[in-house]
Amino acid sequence: MIIGIDLGTTNSLVAVWEGEHARILPNALGNLLTPSVVGLDDQGQLVAGDIARERLNTHPHLTTSLFKRYMGSARETLLGGRAYRAEELSAMLLRSLKADAERALGLAVHAAVISVPAYFSDAQRKATRIAGELAGLKIEKLINEPTAAALAYGLQQRSEATFLVFDLGGGTFDVSILELFEGIMEVRASAGDNFLGGEDFDDRLVEHFIAKVGSADLPDTAQPAMAQRLRREAQRVRHALGQAQDARFTLREQGREWSLELTQSELAEIVRPLLDRLRAPIERALRDARIKVADLDEILLVGGTTRMPLVRKLVAALFGRIPGMLLNPDEVVAQGAAIQAALHARHASLEEVVLTDVCPYTLGIETSVQLGADYQNGHYLPIIERNTVVPVSRSRTVSTLRDNQKVVTLGIYQGESRLVKNNIFLGELEIPVPPRKAGEVTLDVRFTYDNNGLLEAQVHLPINGDTRRLVIENNPGVLAPNEIAQRLAALEALKVHPRDQQINTLLLARMERLYQESLGDGRQYIAGLANHFQQMLDTQDERQIREVRVDITQRLTRFEQEV
Ligand code: ADP
Ligand code: MG
């Protein structure tokens, strides 16, 4: 049995082909979507999914999310004092998904097809394969996410087709243009925004709420637990506005209440700047593929955020037609991976032409931004944007900031964040400049990136012809076989949290979060419930535990709505 896995930035899913259709396998909690969050519990056991998500704020040093963004880089994350690479964090999630799949299927699983974004570079694909290996899975094949979506829609049955896959997930936006010709699927172009997804919509909604209710007497909204609560509420409201005309955003704290009624059209206004950002990558992908909107046979909607009527409306307006929504947009990639797995088992996989000759990350320099009368350092100026076809050479012109400045130091970074502190530092170029008034000395900064992942940064001073260069081997490295073996041993030593305890552990984690989020009487109430539940667990009487669990779950849901 080969399973299909959508290893997403926000959510992951497992599917299997059952002869007629692909079925999404529920996890041990009965859910089809497993949040892509992993961590260690207090006993050092591996936890993933909803339990880990509940623990993100209560146990920040033991839990982590969004690691897909760092696949193929050497960046490490500390968990309980040990540093893990993104391959290892992905492997933890895969182990949990594998255990859930085995439980759902009632048999052992050893092999999988995993989907990856079309723009994933060779290093990122290797890292995904290694993650599978570290999780004890033989990776039969990697499939591009948009190709998987196409398979789920049965497009491979046509002889020829050109289509666009619009994938708006939790934190990323990817547009791909695919062409099917003589049984071969080719990704003609891919573009997107690594920092645009449903969660950004939620952040906007939170900002709007704070601005409207007046932040003066609100509790400290920057505090992580409070920020998390507001984001949850924003997500609830955003989902509700997909159906209802209006919904109420409410925050209750210590007997006080802040509340704001929101309508669908207000939501549209609030997220307009984000919706506007969806346009450019689409245009770029079409341009790169030299395809006109009229040439597209299909537009496929993928990713949970395309459930928003606002997003669908925008897509309809951009393409002049109403996109189909036959399949659940957050399930199609996993379904397609399962179809690919079935094809593979019959030695008949769909051939794919993969697009790997792109620079996978944005490369840029640190710059200063004027805020009022002052300049603030630490901002990012992209020079080569992610997904640019290599080899490529791009330049930007910058200038001195201070009067009589003697030297300019250029920090070189890789990443997608607005602030360089969140990006990966690659190196530094220093060049002396003749003392002049601020802004009078200009510098041409040129980045050249080749097929081997070598970045050459060059700075040139037109004023005196001086030039400095720095070559950075921007290949953070794929793990060497001996390193893989070491990390495999370390991961194997980690126990996976028992599947049959998941539901109880999730309830405990939820109460821990609510306890930390609440104050005063609310806290006491939660503590009482938690102690009671712990006592029940100690009796090991399954029937009683179940009864109490159902009762407490209802109370907590009421508590979260009413307190
Ligand atoms: P990813 O591919 O990034 O792992 P998904 O495709 O699962 O993620 O998308 C997750 C996002 O989808 C979340 O931001 C979530 O709020 C959003 N989403 C899911 N269902 C809905 C809905 N009914 N309405 C609006 N947004 C939704
Ligand atoms: Mg996805």
- Among protein residues, the one with the nearest Cα to ligand 1's atom 24 is 239
Q: Are 559 and 514 in contact (CB under 8 A)?
A: yes
pLDDT at residue 224 in the model = 82
- Among protein residues, the one with the nearest Cα to ligand 1's atom 19 is 304
- Ligand 1 pocket, 284 CB below 6 A? no
Q: Are 238 and 201 in contact (CB under 8 A)?
A: yes
pLDDT at residue 385 in the model = 84
- What mean pLDDT comes out for the span 426-438? 93
Amino acid type, 358: V
- Ligand 1 pocket, 34 CB below 6 A? no
- What mean pLDDT comes out for the span 286-297? 91
CA angle 537, 539, 542 (to 5 degrees): 70
Read out DSSP for 64-111?
EE-GGGGTTS--EEEETTEEEEHHHHHHHHHHHHHHHHHHHHTS---E
Alpha-carbon span 310 to 185, nearest angstrom: 30
Q: Which one from 50, 54, 167, 199 is the annotated catalytic residue?
A: 167
Three-state DSSP state, 155: helix
Listed in sequence order, the residues at least 6 apart from 515 whose beta carbon sits closer than 8 Å to its beta carbon are 523, 526, 527, 530
- Ligand 1 pocket, 309 CB below 6 A? no
Residue 82 has pLDDT above 70, yes or no: yes
- Ligand 1 pocket, 146 CB below 6 A? no
Q: Are 91 and 135 in contact (CB under 8 A)?
A: yes
pLDDT at residue 414 in the model = 87
- Look at 520 and 37; give whichever has higher pLDDT: 37
- Ligand 1 pocket, 192 CB below 6 A? no
Pick the CATH number of 198-273 from 3.20.20.140, 3.40.50.1860, 3.30.70.1520, 3.90.640.10: 3.90.640.10
43-47 contacts: CB < 8 A, separation 24 or more?
Answer: 43/495, 44/80, 44/494, 44/495, 45/494, 45/495, 45/496, 45/497, 46/92, 46/95, 46/96, 46/494, 46/495, 46/496, 46/497, 47/96, 47/497, 47/505
Residue 475 has pLDDT above 70, yes or no: no
Cα 434 to ligand 2 centroid, rounded to whole Å? 51
pLDDT at residue 352 in the model = 72
Alpha-carbon span 230 to 251, nearest angstrom: 7
Mutation test residue for ligand 1: of 196, 305, 325, the one with most atoms within 8 Å of CB = 305
Neighbours of 188 (CB within 10 A): 19
Q: Would residue 145 show up in a list of annotated catalytic residues for this protein?
A: yes
pLDDT in tens, 410-429: 999 988 788 898 888 889 99
Mean of the per-residue pLDDT values of the chain: 91
pLDDT in tens, 523-539: 999 999 999 999 999 99
Cα 122 to ligand 1 centroid, rounded to whole Å? 27
Give the CATH architecture of domain 2-196+278-359: 2-Layer Sandwich (3.30)
Q: Which one from 41, 50, 54, 68 is the annotated catalytic residue?
A: 68
Q: Are 65 and 53 in contact (CB under 8 A)?
A: yes
Structure tokens, 277? 């950002």
pLDDT at residue 356 in the model = 55
- Look at 145 and 472; give whichever has higher pLDDT: 145
- What mean pLDDT comes out for the span 166-182? 94
pLDDT tier for residue 326 given thresholds of 50, 70 and 90: confident
pLDDT tier for residue 441 given thresholds of 50, 70 and 90: very high
- What mean pLDDT comes out for the span 26-50? 96
Residue 19 has pLDDT above 70, yes or no: yes
- Look at 77 and 224; give whichever has higher pLDDT: 77
For 356, the enclosing helix (H) or strand (E) is none
- What mean pLDDT comes out for the span 450-471? 88
Alpha-carbon span 452 to 450, nearest angstrom: 5
Candidate from 17-21, 145-149, 190-194, 380-384 with smallest mean pLDDT: 190-194
Q: Would residue 233 show up in a list of annotated catalytic residues for this protein?
A: no
Q: Would residue 246 show up in a list of annotated catalytic residues for this protein?
A: no
- What mean pLDDT comes out for the span 51-80? 93
Q: Which of 447, 449, 429, 451 is nearest to 364 (CA)?
A: 447
pLDDT in tens, 236-287: 999 999 999 999 999 988 778 899 999 999 999 999 999 999 999 999 889 8
- What mean pLDDT comes out for the span 279-298? 91
CA angle 210, 212, 217 (to 5 degrees): 60
pLDDT in tens, 242-254: 999 999 999 988 7
Mutation test residue for ligand 1: of 330, 331, 332, the one with most atoms within 8 Å of CB = 330
pLDDT at residue 476 in the model = 58
Alpha-carbon span 203 to 271, nearest angstrom: 10
With a pLDDT cut of 70, the percent of the chain lying above it is: 96
Cα 15 to ligand 1 centroid, rounded to whole Å? 18
pLDDT at residue 360 in the model = 67
pLDDT at residue 92 in the model = 98
Read out DSSP for 244-274?
SSEEEEEEEETTEEEEEEEEHHHHHHHHHHH
Residue 351 has pLDDT above 60, yes or no: yes
- Ligand 1 pocket, 8 CB below 6 A? yes
Alpha-carbon span 109 to 137, nearest angstrom: 8
Q: Which residues pair with 22 in a beta bridge?
A: 17
pLDDT at residue 477 in the model = 63
φ, ψ of residue 284 to 5 degrees: the values are -65, -40
Separation in Å, CA 561 to CA 38, 248, 250, 320, 355: 27, 11, 9, 41, 47
- Among protein residues, the one with the nearest Cα to ligand 1's atom 10 is 170
pLDDT in tens, 486-529: 999 999 999 998 998 999 999 999 999 999 888 888 899 999 99
Give the nearest ligand 1 atom to 239 CA. 24
Give the nearest ligand 1 atom to 171 CA. 3
Give the nearest ligand 1 atom to 68 CA. 4
pLDDT tier for residue 96 given thresholds of 50, 70 and 90: very high
Structure tokens, 229? 């609560």
Cα 440 to ligand 2 centroid, rounded to whole Å? 47
- What mean pLDDT comes out for the span 59-71? 94
Q: Would residue 421 show up in a list of annotated catalytic residues for this protein?
A: no
Pick the CATH number of 361-478 from 3.40.47.10, 3.40.50.10490, 3.40.50.2300, 2.60.34.10: 2.60.34.10
Sketch the domain layout of the chain as residue ranges.
2-196+278-359, 198-273, 361-478, 479-563
Mutation test residue for ligand 1: of 307, 313, 335, the one with most atoms within 8 Å of CB = 307
Look up residue 362 and give its DSSP letter: -
